[in-house]
A and B are shown apart, each in its own frame.
Chain A
């Protein structure tokens, strides 16, 4: 049951998808890996929507070069752990949810523990090595993964339901190259991050159609989105041939 405060706070969402769906959000645990360009908008909007437990994972500290896009971090946060800076802002936004900040860089050794018990994982990382690790953890645990990535004015997003839909390695069997300095305008991770947060809300509330087996491609220069159909690959090295 929602409290009176909760009924006020979430009034517009309850009007949209009902009290039971709102309660489901309140019981949900979401892990957001990365508290940067994507992670900031994802965390802020999921907190505002009333996700019961938001877990933030990131090993970095805030650098001044982050501030054009990592909108939860302010000038005074430079040098602070990103997860602490982000957790402070989203706790202020919604003190009624639980926020868990873990300062750690995801690797094969810690990934399962960091994502353990989550209802959904959000890929807000900035490299494909970490994404492949998250994908395998999600497949192994049977937990949905919402992928997003950005560069410049371009972004992509998709939702993976383990054992049912194309996984990250079905879609991207070869990793795109890393770059020392990825050019990006802050609005691009803002847009893609909110697509990811929207997917998370839809999954938890059972609303609408997920971005499963579909890759959303955003072109901010042209202000257009395209949907590329993708499918599970039998020979996928992560989920193929009954691996998942």
Chain B
């Protein structure tokens, strides 16, 4: 199935724009995030700590709704879903 990924800020720079990714039926948000991280080294760095943990400050949205980090492992996606990933900026 296909899931659309909208990326923002540094993550968008890292993956070069929006993506449509092919993931297995019933894939979870975590599975999708891993797939996004595999698209490039920079994308992996933008999303994951060296330990492999998802960077805690990245805002996850699923079909326009905020997803808590704790939900990512169990939230299953459907064909045509849209996931948005926003790493906030901090400067002034």
- A residues adjacent to B (C-beta < 8 A): 34, 36-39, 124-128, 148-152, 154-156, 171-179, 182, 184, 189, 215, 217, 219, 221, 226, 228-231
Contacts and interface: CB of A to CB of B under 8 A. Distances in A.
B92 A176 contact: no
B84 A151 contact: no
Contacts of B13: 152, 221
A179 B87 CA distance: 14
Given A219-B8, A228-B59, A229-B65, A37 B92 contact: yes
Contacts of A226: 6, 8, 84
Interface residues of B, number: 21
Interface of B: 6, 8-10, 12-13, 56-57, 59, 61, 64-66, 84, 86-92
A151 B90 contact: yes
B59 to A, nearest CB: 7
Nearest to B7: A219
B84 to A, nearest CB: 7
B92 A175 contact: no
Given A154-B9, A217-B8, A231-B66, A174 B57 contact: yes
A148 B92 contact: yes
Contacts of B61: 228-229
B56 A156 contact: no
Contacts of B87: 176
B66 A149 contact: no
Given A228-B59, A228-B84, A229-B65, A175 B8 contact: no
A126 B90 contact: yes
A179 B91 CA distance: 9
Given A174-B56, A228-B86, 14 more contacts: A127-B92, A149-B91, A149-B92, A150-B89, A151-B9, A152-B89, A155-B89, A156-B89, A173-B56, A179-B91, A215-B86, A219-B8, A226-B6, A226-B8
A239 B59 CA distance: 19
27 contacts: A37-B91, A125-B92, A128-B90, A148-B92, A149-B90, A151-B9, A151-B10, A151-B89, A151-B91, A154-B8, A154-B10, A154-B89, A156-B89, A172-B88, A173-B56, A174-B56, A176-B57, A176-B88, A176-B90, A177-B90, A179-B91, A182-B90, A189-B92, A219-B8, A228-B84, A229-B65, A231-B66
Contact of B88 (A127, A149, A221): A149
Contacts of B90: 126-128, 149, 151, 175-179, 182
Contacts of A189: 91-92
B10 A175 contact: no
Contact of B92 (A150, A172, A174): A150
Nearest to B64: A229
Contact of B91 (A182, A221, A228, A231): A182
Contacts of B86: 215, 217, 228
Contacts of B12: 219, 221
A121 B64 CA distance: 29
